[in-house]
Chain A
């Protein structure tokens, strides 16, 4: 009972294999704690995005179970499960033929909210992500900058007030300044809303900045899970590789400032 309250998602011996038997992820067992930002860190192809998609049942495990709110994803109706989980992807994927307002209020629309309530909610969320509803609600995605689009993407993921948010390299395609701005805002948003977030990135700086805990992936396995402080001190060779990247960056900065 109390365990179900403190862990929204549990991975229990989860593996996913291709039809030819090659593993994508192997033997994942961990919990996602309530109101944490769990960062899934790793190189390309290490299995972090696959792990994310196992949570909202875009993939089903070959072995083991992903348990969301006490029920295995095998038993969840996929559409109902996904409406309870916000989803943000790098390509954003706004619907180009919908206005910003309708994009944001999509899950409420699927859930059958009436129009006035949907509109109120959309405007509230646009405010929350720093876009003036009066200026942006009636625009189409093509009329927004990349940063504004991803703000809409995040507002859309929050629309039905889901307890869990999945973010798959959401800031990967943004320019460095917008990226840092959105990282800060996401952290503020999380501390205000207390949502549980799972955030995929290959950028170790971004990961350490956002994370309550870091989970490090290598070749489909979880090498390490722990707080950023533990990560920096970790003996795991792959973790040390990532930490070295930050150190080298800093060394270079010191040299150039001399």
Chain B
């Protein structure tokens, strides 16, 4: 039986695991964006915070994912068995690319543009929202794309701590030495990652840094 046949005959479970998977990635990415983007902006305002914050985010990134899930279980409030713990772990993984790209994107804004803005009487807030964030948007979006693609992959391991998702098929397949089951989890997860990469990549190109984009639009 091919994994496609398996998915068709188990479509109800397949649908609910896919839904769980999307939920894990969606919730964790959303939270990581809400924390990571403001934190990245803060680092451009308080340069001294840069090394410790980026260093910490880096450390989370280097912990093997299975270990991170396991380590979080005994921690009160955020730990335990289930989706909540998995989302916390996924958020920790997603933070680094989002913080780093937000920081780099804003740092990369032409200093002359920033000086002109300040010299013309923009407040710090106006400079941020009218100039820096729009110009850094493409780079920030690239960070979010990387975070989501990583998240789709890492979320398969969440099944190990009972959080569900497409990892269920994979772990079951490993335990039963059944390739069909492993593929039934792995292939849809990979396709999900590719789809996210493709869609966010297109969005990113629309917000390419500078105005090469508008020149293109005009040429058409």
Q: Are A140 and B215 in contact (CB under 8 A)?
A: yes
Q: Are B115 and A89 in contact (CB under 8 A)?
A: yes
Name the contact of B120 in the complex, choosing from A92, A110, A140, A142 (C-beta under 8 A). Answer: A110
Name the contact of A107 in the complex, choosing from B120, B130, B214 (C-beta under 8 A). Answer: B120
What is the CB-to-nearest-CB distance from A89 to chain B, in angstroms, rounded to a whole number? 6
A64, B211: Cα distance in complex, Å? 43
Contact with A along B190-208 (1 / 0, CB 8 A): 0000000000000000000
A81 an interface residue at 8 Å Cβ cutoff? yes
User: DSSP majority for the B interface?
Assistant: helix
Q: Are B215 and A58 in contact (CB under 8 A)?
A: no
A128 an interface residue at 8 Å Cβ cutoff? no
Q: Are B113 and A96 in contact (CB under 8 A)?
A: yes
B135 an interface residue at 8 Å Cβ cutoff? yes
| Chain B residues within 8 Å of A95, by CB | 113, 116-117, 130-131
Given contacts A79-B121, A82-B118, A89-B112, contact A110 B211 (CB under 8 A): no
A60, B121: Cα distance in complex, Å? 15
CB<8 Å pairs between A and B, sample of 24: A58-B115, A78-B121, A81-B121, A82-B118, A82-B119, A82-B120, A83-B120, A89-B112, A93-B113, A96-B110, A96-B210, A96-B211, A97-B131, A97-B134, A97-B135, A97-B214, A110-B120, A110-B126, A140-B211, A140-B214, A142-B215, A143-B215, A143-B218, A156-B120
A95, B119: Cα distance in complex, Å? 13
B123 an interface residue at 8 Å Cβ cutoff? yes
A233, B218: Cα distance in complex, Å? 55
A56 an interface residue at 8 Å Cβ cutoff? yes
B150 an interface residue at 8 Å Cβ cutoff? no
Contact with B along A71-114 (1 / 0, CB 8 A): 00000001111110001010111111100000000110010000
Q: Are B115 and A93 in contact (CB under 8 A)?
A: yes
| Chain B residues within 8 Å of A81, by CB | 121
A156, B115: Cα distance in complex, Å? 14
B212 an interface residue at 8 Å Cβ cutoff? yes
A141 an interface residue at 8 Å Cβ cutoff? yes
Residue of A nearest to B126 (CB): A110
| Chain A residues within 8 Å of B215, by CB | 140, 142-143
Size category, B interface? 20 to 34
What is the CB-to-nearest-CB distance from B45 to chain A, in angstroms, rounded to a whole number? 16
Q: Are A110 and B121 in contact (CB under 8 A)?
A: yes
Which residue numbers of B lie inside 8 Å of A, CB to CB?
110, 112-123, 126, 130-131, 134-135, 210-212, 214-215, 218
| Chain B residues within 8 Å of A83, by CB | 120-121
User: By the criterion of a CB under 8 Å from any partner CB, how many residues of chain A are at the interface?
Assistant: 27
What is the CB-to-nearest-CB distance from A82 to chain B, in angstroms, rounded to a whole number? 4
Q: Are A107 and B121 in contact (CB under 8 A)?
A: yes
A141, B120: Cα distance in complex, Å? 18
Which A residues from 133 to 172 make CB contacts under 8 A with B?
A: 140-143, 156-157, 166
Q: Are B131 and A80 in contact (CB under 8 A)?
A: no
A32, B137: Cα distance in complex, Å? 42
What is the CB-to-nearest-CB distance from B4 to chain A, in angstroms, rounded to a whole number? 46
Q: Are A141 and B116 in contact (CB under 8 A)?
A: no
Which A residues from 41 to 81 make CB contacts under 8 A with B?
A: 56, 58, 78-81
| Chain B residues within 8 Å of A94, by CB | 113, 116
Residue of B nearest to A159 (CB): B120
| Chain B residues within 8 Å of A87, by CB | 116, 119-120
What is the CB-to-nearest-CB distance from B148 to chain A, in angstroms, rounded to a whole number? 25
A82, B212: Cα distance in complex, Å? 30
| Chain B residues within 8 Å of A142, by CB | 210-212, 214-215
